[in-house]
Chains A and B, each alone.
Chain A
Amino acid sequence: EPEVTQTPSHQVTQMGQEVILRCVPISNHLYFYWYRQILGQKVEFLVSFYNNEISEKSEIFDDQFSVERPDGSNFTLKIRSTKLEDSAMYFCASSEARGGLNTEAFFGQGTRLTVV
């Protein structure tokens, strides 16, 4: 069964360093998303991406964050200068059609980012 895959599963980084989280969405999906879950808190939307551009972003997704689809299969989230409060589980998701139109999104296993 097709699935969303994320790498690495766990990353530890020093505060101020740049990190890139990688995702391979389901191959025929066109819409891609990043969510995060700080320990003990709700899963929160960060950004959605379609047709090689950001289609929606939350207030969390500030200038330190960026997303890219560098080739036909990968979808990345870059955090430029990590802060302690960026420590969270980051989930990538993809869907066939546009979210908000009752279309299920399929989530990856997540990358646990720890900033020290």
Chain B
Amino acid sequence: SQELEQSPQSLIVQEGKNLTINCTSSKTLYGLYWYKQKYGEGLIFLMMLQKGGEEKSHEKITAKLDEKKQQSSLHITASQPSHAGIYLCGADELRGRESEKLVFGKGTKLTVNP
């Protein structure tokens, strides 16, 4: 089955700094999702990437899926305390109609110090 490894496990940055979180898959990614989770709360959908080389941005967050579709990165520019939380990558386990479930990485805990 597919495994997603996220790095780093946790990250502490000063407000205003840029940062990158990585998600590496053991298999080809057919759909890659980034979610944000605040401690003890639900998962907030951020972005979905499908195609190799694809890049999407929302406000100060940019996510990319590499050409080989086995790694994605999430980049935050000029981080703010509101960016703090746990960032999870999730992937469609199998291509197309074969499975409906998402598999998730363990998450990266981001702390932004004012």
Contacts and interface: CB of A to CB of B under 8 A. Distances in A.
Interface residues of B, number: 30
B100 A31 contact: yes
Contacts of A108: 42
Contacts of A6: 42
B94 interface: yes
B101 A48 contact: yes
Contacts of A104: 33, 45, 48
Kindly state the interface size class of chain A when it binds its partner: 20 to 34
Interface stretch (B10-18, B69-77, B103-111): B103-111
Interface of B: 30-31, 33, 35, 40-45, 48, 50, 88, 90, 92-107
Interface of A: 4, 6, 31, 33, 35, 41-45, 48, 55-56, 58, 89, 91, 93, 98-102, 104-110, 112
14 contacts: A31-B100, A33-B100, A42-B106, A43-B102, A45-B102, A48-B101, A91-B43, A93-B43, A98-B97, A98-B100, A99-B99, A99-B101, A101-B97, A109-B41
